[in-house]
Amino acid sequence: MNDNRIIGELLKKIHSFYPIGLPLLQHEYEGFRNLKEILHKKQIAAGNNEPAEWFTFAGETEKDWAGYEVINFAGKPFPCYELSIILFNGTNNGLSVTGTLTVTLSLLVKHYTVYVYDEYNYTLGENSSFVPGHGYLYSGMKYHLNIADKIQRIKERIEKYFPEHTFIDFKYLFTQKILGGYSYSGGYEDVGKNVIYDYLFSTSMLGKVYSVAD
Q: What is the pLDDT of residues 102-114, one digit of tens each?
A: 999 999 999 999 9
* Digit-coded pLDDT (tens) for 142-199: 666 688 899 999 999 999 999 999 999 999 999 988 988 888 888 877 787 789 999 9
Q: Which residues contact 194 (CB under 8 A, 6 or more apart)?
A: 177, 178, 181, 182, 183, 186, 206
Average pLDDT, the chain: 88
58/177: higher pLDDT: 58
In this prediction the pTM is 0.89
Q: Which residues contact 42 (CB under 8 A, 6 or more apart)?
A: 79, 107
Q: Is the pLDDT of residue 128 over 70?
A: no
Q: Is the pLDDT of residue 97 over 70?
A: yes
Name residue 96's beta-bridge partners.
91, 121
Using alpha carbons, select from 138, 141, 102 the residue that is nearest to residue 211. Answer: 138
